[in-house]
Structure 1
Amino acid sequence: MRAAVYHRFGGPDVVRIEQVPQPAVGATEVLIRVRATTVSAADRRARSKDVPAGLALPSSLVLGVRRPRRPILGMDVAGVVESVGARVTRFRPGDEVVAMLGSRFAGHAEFAVADESSAIALKPTTASFAEAVALVFGGVTARAFLNQTRVAPGSSVLVNGASGAVGSAAVQLCAAAGAHVTAVSSAGNAELVLSLGADSTVDYNAADFAGGRDRYDNVIDCVGNAPVSRVLPVLNPGGAVLLVAGNLRSLVTAPGQARRHGLTVATAPGPYLASDLEHLGRLMDAGRLRAVIERCYPLEQITAAHRRVDTNRKRGNVVIDVG
C-alpha cells in the first residue's frame, strides 16, 4: 500500500510517499481502507520532535530517540471497513467509519487498523469522509477534556486558540451545551469563531485575555501559553482549567495549584472513547457541529500539507484525501 513515511526527524521534506506492507489484522481488529485523514499539530510535533519545554525525554519514549519508532504519522482516519478479525462483532465490511488512532499513528496510508474496543465509530451519515475526519482529532480531544469538567447552560468558557482543530471543536461543543463562549484568536479569525457559536472574541494581538474584567467558569488552553498561574485572576471560584497544550512546568505544578485554589485542572485527555465519537456524529447529523477544513490535499502533496501546519496558522483542519 502507499503511505506517507518518515525515517528521520526534521522538517516537512522528510516525509515521502512509499510502498509499505499492508497492516495485518488481529482477531479483534478492523482493517479500514482510508479515504481521508488529517495532518495535525500532533503530527507536526512528532515529525519534527519539537515538543514543549521539559518533555523531550518522555516524548522520546513514544516517538523514538534517534529515529522514528512509528514511521507513518496520522492520528485519525475516515474510511470504509475492508475486513474484520474473527472476534469482531461491532463492524462488518462496507461500514463507513471514523477512528482516532492516537499515539499509535499510522493513519497517513491507504489502510489502517483499529481495535474494535478503541475509539472507532460509524461515520456521521450527513458527512463526507473529509468532513467526518475533520471532527476526529480536534473533536474527540476537546470532548475528552470537557468530560473532566462541567459545562452547564449559562456557564462561561474561555477558549484560547479557538481557530485550530481542537479549539474550533471546543467552541462548538461548549456552545451546543448552552455556555457563553469567549474565543481567543487573531482578528482575522474572529468571523470564523463567531460563526462556530462564540459569543465574543478577544484578539490576542490587541489584548491580554487573562487581564480583563471578565471571569470564566472554564478556561481551555489549546496553545500552551495559559497555565493556571496566568489565568487564575480571571477564573471563577471552583472553576476548571483544561490544559490541552502545556510545557512540563505547567503540567507538573497543575495538581498542586488545583488543590491550593480548589480548582479542577486537567492535563491530559484520558482515554479516547468510541462513545465520544458517536456523540460528535450525532451533533453533526443534527446540524449542531460542523467540520472546519482549511484545505484538502491529495496524499501525494502531504509534504505541502505539513508545511502549512508548520506555520501554526492553520484554521481548523488540514485534510489529506487518500483517494
Structure 2
Amino acid sequence: MGDQRGGGGVRHPAAGFAMKAAVYSRFDGPDVVRVQEVPAPSPRRGELLIKVHASTVSAADRRARSRDVPRGLGLFAALALGVFRPRRAVLGMDVAGVVEAVGAGVTSVRPGTEVIAMLGSRFGGHAEYVCLPAEAAIAAKPSNMTFQEAVTPVFGGLTALVFLNRAGLKPGDTVLINGASGAVGTAAVQLAKQSGAHVTAVCSDAGRELVTSLGADRVIDYSTIDFTAEATKYDAVMDCVGNAPFERAEASVKPGGSLLLVVADLKGIIWSSWHSRISGKLVSAGNVQYTAKDLEYLVHLAEAGLFRSVSERTYALADVVKAHRFVDTGRKKGSVVLQISGTSATPDIEHSGRGAAVGR
C-alpha cells in the first residue's frame, strides 16, 4: 500500500454494533442465503477494518454455498468449509471499499483509504464490514474506477494472473483460453494480450463480441467446435471451466508448453506433477497464492487503461439470492457484482460502456 501511514491501535468507534450481511447456515441452493443483522467485526492487532462498498458473487461462492466441488474434492471441501454446517457464515472472496479503522501495529495504510482486497478462503465480503490482515492481498483502488468496477478484477484478475505467470508467456506465443467469457476468462484474455500473445477464446457464441472486444484474435464456439479435436497446438492452454483435463487437452499443447488447469478435480491436481514429467509440458493445477504485488499490478494496468472491468449485472445486497440464482445458471459473463453500500443498485440490468461488458 506504499507510504500511506496510519496510527496504531485505532478501533472502530462503534465496535460491536450490528451490520447487515448475507449469511447461510446450510449447504444448498441460492435460497439458503439470507440478509440479516450480525455483529460487526473490530480490527485486532495487525488488521484492517474495511467498510465494504462492493463484492462479487463468484463461481467460488457458488461452490462454497452448495459444496458442489470437482470430483474427489468433497472431503477436502467438508474439512475447509464445514462438515454439517458452514464454518464461515458470510461468503464473498473479494471487496472494494474504504478502510474504516486499523488495529495496533498497522502503519502501511490509514483510515479513509479506498482499497480493493482479496479475502480468499477467509470469505466475508458479502457484509457491510470485514476485517483482514494488513499483509493480505490489498491495494489502493484504481483511481479511474468506481467501487463496483474496481472489485471485478480482484477474483478473476488475480486468479488469471497467477496461472498465466506460470506459463512465462512471450510476445508471439499462442494461448487458448477455455471459458473465456467468465470472470477468470475475461481477465485472462486481457492479460495474455498484454503479454503480446495471440489469443484464441473458447466460449459460447453469445460471448463472441465480448471476448473479441477484450482482444481475442480468434473465437471458438464450443457448441459447434471441439478445440481438442483440431490439429492446432498452443504454447499455453488455460482451462477455466474444468472440462479440459490433461487426458483431453494435452495434445493441444506444444512441446514445452503449458496446460493451466484453473478448475481441476482431485486426480488432476494430484497427477499434475507426474503429467508434467512424462509429457515435458508444464501441467499446473491448484495452489493459488494471492499477493498484494499482483493486485497492485492489476491496478497499474487498470489505471493505464489496459485492463477493463467486466461485469454483466449488479445486484443490491437485498437481492443476493437473485445474484446466486443467476450465477447458478452458468451463463454469467464476467463478474456478477454485489453492491453492499453506496448508491442504489439496479438488479437484473445488463451493463454497457467502458466499465462493464458482458463466465468464471
The answer to whether the aligner puts 1:244 opposite 2:244 as a matched pair is no
Identity %: 55
The corresponding residue for 2:234 is 216
- Name the amino acid aligned to 2:337: V
The corresponding residue for 1:19 is 37
* Structure 2 CA distance for aligned equivalents of residues 222 and 260 of structure 1: 23
* Structure 2 CA distance for aligned equivalents of residues 149 and 159 of structure 1: 13
Which of 140, 154, 157 does residue 172 from structure 2 map onto? 154
- Name the amino acid aligned to 1:227: P
* Structure 1 CA distance for aligned equivalents of residues 294 and 169 of structure 2: 16
The corresponding residue for 1:268 is 286
Which of 191, 213, 217 does residue 173 from structure 1 map onto? 191
**Are the equivalent residues in 1 in contact too, given 2:49–2:101 (CA < 8 A)?**
yes
The answer to whether the aligner puts 1:201 opposite 2:208 as a matched pair is no
**Deviation of the 1:244 alpha carbon:** 0.4
The corresponding residue for 2:128 is 110
**Deviation of the 1:270 alpha carbon:** 2.6
**Deviation of the 1:268 alpha carbon:** 1.6
- Name the amino acid aligned to 1:28: G
1:15-44 superposed Cα distances (whole Å, 9 cap, x missing partner): 010111111211111100000000000000
Q: TM-score, normalised by structure 1?
A: 0.99
The corresponding residue for 1:87 is 105
Query: Gaps (5+ residues) in structure 1?
Result: none
- Name the amino acid aligned to 1:96: E
> Which runs of 4 or more aligned residues in structure 1 lie more than 6 Å from their structure 2 counterparts after TM superposition?
none
The answer to whether the aligner puts 1:42 opposite 2:60 as a matched pair is yes
* Structure 1 CA distance for aligned equivalents of residues 156 and 303 of structure 2: 17
User: RMSD across aligned C-alpha pairs, in angstroms?
Assistant: 0.8
Query: Gaps (5+ residues) in structure 2?
Result: 1-18, 342-360
Which of 185, 193, 197 does residue 203 from structure 2 map onto? 185
1:261-298 superposed Cα distances (whole Å, 9 cap, x missing partner): 11112112531000111000111111111011111000
Most deviating of 282-291 and 242-251: 242-251
Q: TM-score, normalised by structure 2?
A: 0.89
1:131-188 superposed Cα distances (whole Å, 9 cap, x missing partner): 1100100001111112222111110100000000001100100011110000000011
**Are the equivalent residues in 1 in contact too, given 2:23–2:35 (CA < 8 A)?**
yes
* Structure 2 CA distance for aligned equivalents of residues 246 and 313 of structure 1: 20
The corresponding residue for 1:234 is 252
**Are the equivalent residues in 1 in contact too, given 2:238–2:259 (CA < 8 A)?**
yes
- Name the amino acid aligned to 1:66: F
